């Protein structure tokens, strides 16, 4: 299959219903862990999920040369301190899964979030150095992604807490940002700027998506000085978690995330090589014994937690509703 094709790999064609149902039942019987939230999408659904993502994202991945401009001698550094404050108030303690307390974001944090996004829109990104530009685009994307998710929380909750329609639907494609006079969507930033300007597998670990199957929200903003180091660390953390890889009877199952951009990973060998590059010793040893990806999975449930305590409570015990 050519890299420019909009058709998903044959592996991701929708399975026959009976075959998918039997596989799902076999996995759930033999491996109870597959039934928990980490593996919400059942085997019979995986082909549909991945096919829709590949179709949509390949169609919207054309390069945008307008954003090639940069200043290699620039000393301009955007101010990201507001993100630090936001994550201090609403980020997950310990940052184990990179979750956000979206209930309290909706009740208390939308103003600060909107202000941060607005300030980032004013940055003259074409006047930044290349690494600063990458950090900027990741931060702008992630802040707006959190804002859109929080604004859609009621719809997400009513839809069994899945973020699939949010990410693959119109919200991610609305041109709701304006940078240097250009209207932009989150998909524009992901597909037409970041993935095309920096075609490095590590960049996908810096793009926030509010699903439990994706890398969590960054606790601190990216900066040009450390962006590649941070992305490598996030790649390591994700790959060595159950969100990226699983084995069942010697067969390798990987996150569908690795097949959504065929330019980054054109085949199974490329995916496995990337996983091995960041795997700790136990996982690396198991990866050395496989030559193909047997199946994919992805958990679309919203990556959220409720602290159960509103740190903005007043002396009378008032606060935002839980």
For residues 233 and 221, give the distance between their C-alpha atoms in angstroms, rounded to a whole number. Answer: 14
Q: In this structure, is residue 303 part of a structural domain?
A: no
> Is residue 275 located within the same domain as residue 249?
yes
Clarify whether residues 204 and 262 are in a common domain. Answer: no
Q: Residues, the chain, total? A: 322
Helix (H) or strand (E) holding 143: helix 130-151
Can you give the residue range of the structural domain that contains 147?
Answer: 65-231
Tens digits of per-residue pLDDT, 80-120?
999 999 999 999 887 778 899 999 999 999 999 999 999 99
Q: Indicate whether 200 and 227 sit together in one domain.
A: yes
Query: Residues 212, 77: one domain?
Result: yes
208 and 153 in a common domain: yes
Residues 245 and 202 grouped into a single domain: no
Q: Is 147 left (phi over 0), alpha (psi -120 to 50) or beta?
A: alpha
What confidence category does residue 28 fall into, taking pLDDT thresholds of 50, 70 and 90?
Answer: very low
Task: Return all residues near 102 (Cβ < 8 A) that are at least 6 apart.
Answer: 90, 149, 150, 153, 302, 304
The answer on 283 and 201 residing in a single domain is no
Select the more confidently predicted residue: 193 or 44.
193
Q: How much is the pTM?
A: 0.79
Q: Model confidence over 126-146: pLDDT tens digits? A: 999 999 999 999 999 999 999
In this structure, are 133 and 190 located in the same domain? yes
> Does a structural domain hold residue 315?
no
Domain match, 252 and 210 both: no
d(C-alpha 223, C-alpha 241), whole Å: 25
Q: Please identify which residue in the block is written with the tokens 């240097």.
A: 180
Residues 37-52 have pLDDT tens digits of 333 333 333 333 344 4
Asked if the structure places residue 321 within a domain, the reply is: no
CB-based contact 58:262 (threshold 8 Å):
yes
**Residue 227 corresponds to which tokens in the numbers above?**
């962006």
């Amino acid at each position: 299959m050519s890299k420019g094709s909009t058709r998903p790999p044959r592996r991701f064609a929708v399975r026959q219903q009976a075959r998918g149902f039997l596989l799902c039942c076999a996995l759930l019987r033999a491996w109870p862990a597959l039934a928990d939230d980490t593996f919400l999408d059942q085997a019979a659904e995986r082909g549909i999920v991945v096919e829709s993502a590949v179709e949509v994202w390949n169609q919207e991945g054309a390069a945008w040369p307008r954003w090639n401009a940069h200043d290699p001698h620039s000393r301009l550094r955007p101010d990201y301190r507001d993100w630090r404050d936001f994550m201090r108030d609403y980020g997950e303690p310990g940052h184990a899964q990179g979750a956000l307390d979206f209930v309290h974001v909706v009740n208390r944090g939308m103003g600060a979030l909107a202000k941060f996004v607005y300030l980032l829109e004013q940055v003259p990104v074409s006047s930044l150095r290349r690494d600063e530009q990458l950090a900027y685009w990741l931060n702008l994307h992630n802040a707006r992604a959190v804002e859109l998710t929080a604004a859609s929380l009621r719809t997400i909750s009513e839809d069994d807490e899945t973020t699939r329609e949010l990410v693959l639907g119109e919200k991610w494609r609305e041109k709701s940002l304006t940078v240097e006079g250009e209207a932009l969507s989150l998909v524009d930033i992901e597909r037409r700027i970041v993935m095309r300007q920096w075609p490095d597998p590590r960049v996908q670990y810096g793009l926030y998506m509010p699903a439990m199957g994706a890398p969590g929200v960054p606790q601190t903003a990216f900066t040009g000085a450390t962006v590649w180091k941070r992305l490598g660390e996030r790649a390591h953390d994700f790959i060595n978690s159950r969100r990226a890889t699983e084995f069942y009877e010697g067969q390798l199952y990987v996150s569908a995330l690795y097949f959504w951009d065929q330019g980054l990973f054109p085949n199974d060998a490329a995916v496995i090589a990337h996983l091995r590059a960041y795997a700790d010793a136990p996982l690396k040893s198991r990866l050395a014994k496989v030559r193909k990806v047997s199946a994919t999975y992805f958990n679309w449930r919203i990556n959220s937690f409720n602290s159960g305590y509103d740190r903005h409570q007043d002396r009378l015990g008032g606060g935002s509703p839980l």
